[in-house]
Structure 1
Amino acid sequence: MNADTRLYTDRTASTVTTRDGVQLYYKDWGPKDGPVVTFSHGWPLNSDSWEAQMLFLAGQGFRVVAHDRRGHGRSSQPWDGNDMDHYADDLAAVIEALDLRDATLVGFSTGGGEVARYIGRHGTARVKKAVLVSAVPPLMLRTDDNPGGLPLEVFDGLRKGSIDNRSQLYLDIASGPFFGYNRPGATANAGLIQSFWVQGIQGGHKNTFDSIAAFSATDFREDLAKFDVPTLVVHGDDDQIVPIDLAGKASAALVSGAELIVYAGGPHGITDTHKDRLNQDLLAFLRK
């Protein structure tokens, strides 16, 4: 079998190489015989953004796996393939290379789109449950058949910010709407702001730029219709990045039998601001 058509994993370096030659860095924590939970991160972050949930669940006996999306973190920075189909196929590459089965797929923000597209493209043969946290599905962009979406100008603004000074863009997002630090009375946490900035700036410029279209303009409605496993949707009702009515509530309505948990006052970055509650909600869902 030719090297460009096979999937393989280098456990010494904790990488999986995809069929198109992209190296994906991954973490594999907890007991190897524990129930499997995978984590797909948001834009422009990497798998470090899941550390609170991974450390907690690994301590509860779960095998937790998370990779850095192509072009992000410690993974390769390919010029092409920075789109949701490739993201989903990369998740499949990790799952297949590690031979993960009966996995619960957890996706945050853009990672929620990755999970949805994975199920849409690869089915649920290896999937036991799914969790969407502050996730972008069904469709963020305003279109003729999605009139409640956000206008194109919002995402063009992100693209302009990326070109003008993406370092400042990431700092502004983290210092303001991502964690809700722009709300009256909010106390900003410098550590979380710096962590967001560091993760973002580690990503490739072209990759994170292209990803804006991937998370904003990809239509996941057909993918959500293919969900046939228990699904949990968690969303803050003060999410200024991915509004709950456009995303969390709409996804829960499209997935048959989905459970929706709303965090009152929760911002977009609830994996950090509400990590203790989220950890407990994930544990309860996993144990059902």
Structure 2
Amino acid sequence: MTTITTADGVSLYVKDWGPKDGPAVTLSHGWPLSSDSWESLAFHLASAGFRVVHHDRRGHGRSSQPWDGNDMDHYADDLAQVIEAFDLRDVSAFGFSTGGGEVARYVGRHGTGRVARLGLISAITPLMLQTDANPGGLPLEVFDGFRAAQLADRAQFYRDIASGPFYGFNRPGAKVSQGLIETWFQQGMQAGFRNTYDSIAAFSATDHTEDLKKFDRPTLIIHGDDDQVVPIDASARATKKLVPHATLIEYAGAPHGLPDTHKDRFHADVLAFLKG
């Protein structure tokens, strides 16, 4: 565990797990979480011989909380600086949810010269917001509701997400894990207020269409067909159309937080892709 300082003075907290000579994997986390949200997969891959580098996004976790720069371009540039600081090459870059947008924008801005494989997990790509060109997206009112809820009572808002749609715990018969709820809540509350507020616009209104068109490496897309946070039709299935060579794996009945709710299958699918 260490920190690096970006070109604009932001301190990023970075974990570097596994053998240093192992194949490199980067993991970009979702909103409003931290690199801790990846701990199960990171441990599994590191134990299998991979070097797993995963950082807390600016404004999240143990990274510093800049007032400005809470947007996808800065997120992608931060990822690039992590990759360069650790001199990672032939990287398999995975992103979950907002982190999927980060990975896509990294490719859009920095290319794939250091990239071997790409993974989009429950990702926000290509565009969450409903527009004339993206009629299948979610209406602006949804994200305005997120912002209003954060301003009104961020702590309760985060508890409601974690105990409800994120893991599908609001579905009949769901096996609820209070531990997952608490861990999600703690990670969210560790992040900066301004940073998580601004990030709602970053993950909802950033169009990754052109970024995805630059994906020229083997790509894995994993998404649950009961994702209530990032509905699959406007995300994974739309992304597959823009990246036709990608492998799309749909998990029947799985929620947004499938890396935890479907852990064994998820680990096996990711490892098979990395070794394929």
TM-score by length of structure 1 reads: 0.95
**Corresponding residue pairs, total:** 276
Distance in 2 (CA, whole Å) between partners of 1:262 and 1:88 is 26
CA deviations 1:221-271 (Å, max 9, x no partner) are 000000000000000000000000010111111113000000000000011
Distance in 2 (CA, whole Å) between partners of 1:64 and 1:276 is 18
Q: Alignment partner for residue 187 of structure 2, among 196, 199, 215? A: 199
Query: Within 5 A, what are the aligned runs for 1:7-46?
Result: 14-46=2-34
Tell me whether 1:85 sits opposite 2:73 in the alignment: yes
Query: Within 5 A, what are the aligned runs for 1:1-288?
Result: 14-288=2-276
Distance in 1 (CA, whole Å) between partners of 2:51 and 2:104 is 21
Distance in 2 (CA, whole Å) between partners of 1:91 and 1:248 is 22
**How far 1:23 sits from its partner (Å)?**
0.3
1:7 aligns with none
* Secondary structure of 2:150's aligned partner: helix
Distance in 2 (CA, whole Å) between partners of 1:240 and 1:88 is 26
* Secondary structure of 1:238's aligned partner: coil
Amino acid at match of 2:3: T
Identity %: 68
Amino acid at match of 1:68: D
For structure 1, which runs of at least 5 residues remain unmatched after alignment? 1-12
* Secondary structure of 1:16's aligned partner: strand
**How far 1:187 sits from its partner (Å)?**
2.3
* Secondary structure of 1:170's aligned partner: helix
**How far 1:168 sits from its partner (Å)?**
0.4
Query: Is the 1:227–1:256 contact (alpha carbons within 8 Å) kept by the matching residues of 2?
Result: no
For structure 2, which runs of at least 5 residues remain unmatched after alignment? none
Distance in 2 (CA, whole Å) between partners of 1:173 and 1:241 is 9
TM-score by length of structure 2 reads: 0.99
Distance in 1 (CA, whole Å) between partners of 2:25 and 2:264 is 17
Distance in 2 (CA, whole Å) between partners of 1:134 and 1:271 is 9
* Secondary structure of 1:61's aligned partner: coil
**How far 1:185 sits from its partner (Å)?**
1.0
Runs of 4+ deviating beyond 3 Å = none
CA deviations 1:43-97 (Å, max 9, x no partner) are 0000000000000000100000100000000000000000000000000010000
C-alpha root-mean-square deviation of aligned residues, in Å?
A: 0.6
* Secondary structure of 2:211's aligned partner: helix
* Secondary structure of 2:7's aligned partner: coil
